[in-house]
């Protein structure tokens, strides 16, 4: 019945039929509501004869009063009492949302509703509840018409949401980089992810500037998160590079310190010792060549002190090899002079004091060699 009466009022000018008293009461009450406030409509609407229509229209005034009470409760709540503020606001918004479109909310009610909504939206954004913030903003626009502040908050939500998507894309790049098995692949993955996070930072700053929300704490939080992820990758890369450099260094050091098998130590000929030292040198040179190529590709990973230390080890190894070669040459030169024969006895027999016996007198030792077929050189 109420809908029929409203429709009748809306088409009154286009109809030759004269408006009924109830239609006139509804029309006058609506005009009073919009011009003077909801309370001004009630005297007209209580005159409606149709019981159902009268209950509907006077109920609009009651709904407005109820919504205003809940809104006042939300405004009077202490700061930080988020649960109470939100509950009161939602009750108010629900009450106002039930009013027909031709009944306008007073400006002060719109302003109060938008102000409370702004606070709740900010709280949701700060708590990282973006979907709740967006829904609350939409409801505020539907009910209270919105405001510049709510438009700005919506823009802020859009900026953060776009940044989150770019962050997720960068996370995926880093996830793929982690799966690389070879060292160069891991470094390439880190570089790719670092670039993705850096681009996300730049685009976030651009979006925030365009939306005029650069100073928003939530935008700053997103920027800090992206920056930390990028910085963590820088640290991770340095750690990997340094670790690889020390792998080469330790490998060279272990090879340099390698000794022959235990059963050979102390019994090796000079030739065997030389062979061992040359094998060590070959392995050191191979590792050194790999490290040199690594340093050329990642110069920040290998410092001059490390390379200088390895160079000293190489020089020390060359000196040892040179010493063994010198000893081998000396031994061969000595061998070329002839066979060394040690005398059986050197010196004189000690005499027996006070004896006159011929056999017990002091005399020179006798040296003999047997089993010699050819001429040999004796020296000493």
Judge contact between 377 and 338, C-beta under 8 A.
yes
pLDDT at 118 (0 to 100)? 94
Cα 363 to Cα 277: distance, rounded to the nearest angstrom: 53
Whole-prediction pTM value?
0.67
Judge contact between 116 and 85, C-beta under 8 A.
yes
Judge contact between 204 and 159, C-beta under 8 A.
yes
Place of tokens 């110069």: 299
Structure letter (DSSP) for residue 360: G
Judge contact between 25 and 50, C-beta under 8 A.
no
Average pLDDT over every residue of 318-346: 68
pLDDT at 341 (0 to 100)? 52
Average pLDDT of every residue of the chain: 83
Q: How many Cβ atoms are within 10 Å of 186's Cβ, its own excluded? A: 18
DSSP string spanning 131-189? HHHHHHHHHHHHHH---HHHHHHHHHHHHHHHHHHHHHHHHHHHHHHHT--SHHHHHHH
* Dihedral, CA of residue 335, residue 336, residue 342 and residue 348, to nearest 10: -140
Which of 31-40, 132-141, 336-345 is the least confident region? 336-345
**Higher pLDDT, residue 28 or 321:** 28
Split at pLDDT 50, 70, 90, the class of 293 is: confident
Split at pLDDT 50, 70, 90, the class of 269 is: confident
pLDDT of 282 over the 50 cut: yes
pLDDT at 330 (0 to 100)? 78
In the chain the first and final C-alpha atoms are separated, in Å, by 143
Q: Which residues contact 165 (CB under 8 A, 6 or more apart)?
A: none
HSE (CB half, 13 Å, CA atoms) of 92? 28
pLDDT at 221 (0 to 100)? 95
Average pLDDT over every residue of 118-143: 94
Cα 130 to Cα 133: distance, rounded to the nearest angstrom: 5
Judge contact between 92 and 70, C-beta under 8 A.
yes
pLDDT digits (tens, 9 = 90+) for 56-110: 999 999 999 999 999 999 999 888 888 999 999 999 999 999 999 999 999 999 9
Split at pLDDT 50, 70, 90, the class of 271 is: confident
Structure letter (DSSP) for residue 216: -
Which of 3-7, 57-61, 352-356 is the least confident region? 3-7
**SS3 assignment, position 364:** strand
């Amino acid at each position: 019945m109420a809908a029929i009466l409203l429709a009748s009022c809306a088409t009154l000018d286009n109809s030759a039929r004269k408006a009924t008293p109830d239609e006139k009461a509804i029309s006058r009450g609506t005009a009073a509501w919009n011009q003077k406030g909801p309370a001004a409509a009630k005297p007209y609407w209580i005159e409606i004869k149709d019981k159902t229509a009268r209950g509907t229209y006077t109920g609009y005034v009651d709904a407005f009063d109820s919504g205003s009470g809940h809104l006042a409760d939300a405004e009077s709540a202490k700061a930080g009492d988020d649960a109470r503020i939100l509950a009161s606001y939602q009750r108010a918004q629900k009450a106002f949302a039930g009013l027909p479109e031709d009944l306008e909310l007073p400006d002060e009610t719109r302003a109060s509703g938008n102000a409370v909504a702004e606070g709740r939206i900010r709280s949701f954004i700060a708590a990282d509840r973006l979907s709740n913030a967006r829904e609350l903003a939409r409801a505020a626009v539907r009910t209270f018409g919105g405001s510049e502040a709510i438009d700005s908050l919506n823009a802020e939500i859009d900026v953060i949401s776009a940044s989150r998507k770019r962050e997720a894309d960068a996370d995926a790049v880093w996830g793929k980089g982690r799966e690389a098995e070879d060292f160069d692949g891991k470094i390439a993955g880190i570089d790719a992810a670092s670039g993705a996070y850096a681009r996300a930072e730049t685009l976030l700053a651009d979006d925030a500037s365009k939306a005029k929300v650069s100073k928003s704490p939530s935008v700053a939080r997103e920027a800090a998160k992206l920056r930390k992820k990028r910085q963590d990758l820088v640290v991770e890369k340095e750690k990997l590079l340094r670790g690889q450099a020390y792998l080469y260094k330790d490998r060279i050091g272990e090879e340099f310190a390698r000794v022959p098998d235990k059963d050979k130590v102390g019994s090796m000929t000079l030739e065997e010792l030389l062979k061992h030292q040359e094998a060590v040198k070959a392995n050191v040179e191979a590792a050194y060549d790999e490290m040199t190529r690594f340093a050329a590709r990642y110069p920040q990973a290998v410092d001059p002190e490390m390379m200088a230390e390895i160079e000293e080890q190489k020089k020390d190894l060359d000196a040892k090899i040179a010493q063994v070669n010198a000893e081998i040459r000396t031994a061969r030169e000595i061998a070329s002079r002839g066979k060394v024969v040690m005398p059986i006895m050197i010196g004189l027999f000690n005499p027996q004091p006070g004896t006159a016996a011929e056999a017990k007198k002091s005399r020179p030792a006798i040296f003999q060699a047997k089993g010699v077929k050819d001429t040999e050189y004796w020296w000493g």
